[in-house]
Amino acid sequence: MDDLSKNLSLPTLDFSRYRDPAQREVFFQDLRHAARTFGFFYLKGHGVPEKLQRDIVEISKTFFALPEEDKLAVEMVRSPHFRGYTRAGWERTKGQADWREQFDVGAERIAVEQDATTPAWARLQGPNQWPEALPELKPAVLEWQSELTRVAIELLQAFAAALGQDKDIFEPIYRDAPNQHLKIIRYPGREATGSDQGGVGAHKDSGFLTLLLQDVQGGLQVENDGGWIDATPVSGTFVINIGEILELASNGYLKATIHRVVTPPSGKDRLSVAFFFGADLNANVPLLNLPEDLAKEAGGTDTDPDNPLFREVGRNYLKGRLRSHPDVARRHHSDLL
């Protein structure tokens, strides 16, 4: 599965076509094709100002350039809500260490008071950690989170309409408290280490949609027919991919696609900003009643006995957090292990 699909590239969709009634139906055709053929595509015409894109990249670089002690002051292991800084090699994908350092942020909400009846996933809600050494990080990141939430909701509405549904069919399961998970990520370059290409191991995303801003260094690869397609950075675009909520809701008509990140070569760094838009942790994923022509092409959801999918959003998300950050799990949630 290590051969690259060198003759393939991800399609590019112009979101302005969705906003034009004369082009909308053709846009829906292209959206369904991109989603079912690749599960990934580039999105342009999204309306996010170029200055905001430049600013979030620059503030991310500034954060990673801080002295290690300033970053460790907001290390994720200090947060029961899985927020904060993670050193390279400390997050895991399918049990293997990822070679990236990162800073995780969620929605700014107060922690849920716990009692015997509180569901375990409620522990995920709570405040973020912010580095005192870089006070300008908080407003920049929260502005980015807000802007990307706007784009994600509009894109989710487009997906709903493309599936023959009312555009707001998903609103009841994200309206009150959407899961807004943002990562700023630095992949340090290093010499090749045998078969371990290790930026992030092969995996799927769990939410509705992921919106990824890439800087200039590549490394993201998308699985396709046993090979890998390079998702080379394209200025001004986001890389969009489908998460497992849309796979569940569409009975597999849409598929969450496996992807990975290859570590940059020595002397190079990769920087990206990933925004994962998900449903309210209190929600259950509905099964859509697809039009007959689409329903015939829905093959059901993929099943992995080692990583089962649940329609209970919070249960699914907590499972992923406990697996990916075992140090946080041991310190704060040992009763769940």
Nearest by Cα to 51 from 144, 130, 154:
144
Instruction: Write the DSSP symbol of residue 196.
Output: B
- Residue % of the chain over a pLDDT of 90: 89
- Alpha carbon 150 to its chain centroid, in Å, reads 15
Q: Kindly report the pTM of this predicted structure.
A: 0.95
For residue 231, what are the CA distances in angstroms to 62, 203, 281, 282? 25, 15, 30, 33
- What is the rounded CA–CA span in Å between residue 143 and residue 217? 24
Domains in the chain, please, with CATH?
12-336 (2.60.120.330)
**41 close to 220: Cβ distance less than 8 angstroms:** no
Which positions ≥6 away from 56 have C-beta within 8 Å? 140, 141, 144, 184, 213, 273
Across-strand partners of 241? 40, 210
Distance of alpha carbon 23 from alpha carbon 34, whole angstroms:
16
DSSP state of 262: E
Query: Within its chain, how far is the Cα of 270 from the centroid?
Result: 17
Min mean pLDDT across 42-51, 162-171, 183-192 is at: 183-192
User: What's the start-to-end Cα distance of the chain, in Å?
Assistant: 33
Q: DSSP code of 28?
A: H
Q: Whose structure tokens read 């699985």?
A: 223
Q: pLDDT tens, 141-182?
A: 999 999 999 999 999 999 999 999 999 999 999 999 999 999
The SS3 assignment for 326 reads helix
- Write b or e for each residue in 313-325: b if 16 or more Cβ atoms lie within 10 A of its Cβ, otherwise e: bbebbbbbbbebb
| Each residue's pLDDT tens digit, 103-113 | 999 999 999 99
- 136 touches 122 (CB < 8 A): no
Q: What share of the chain has pLDDT > 70, as a percent?
A: 96
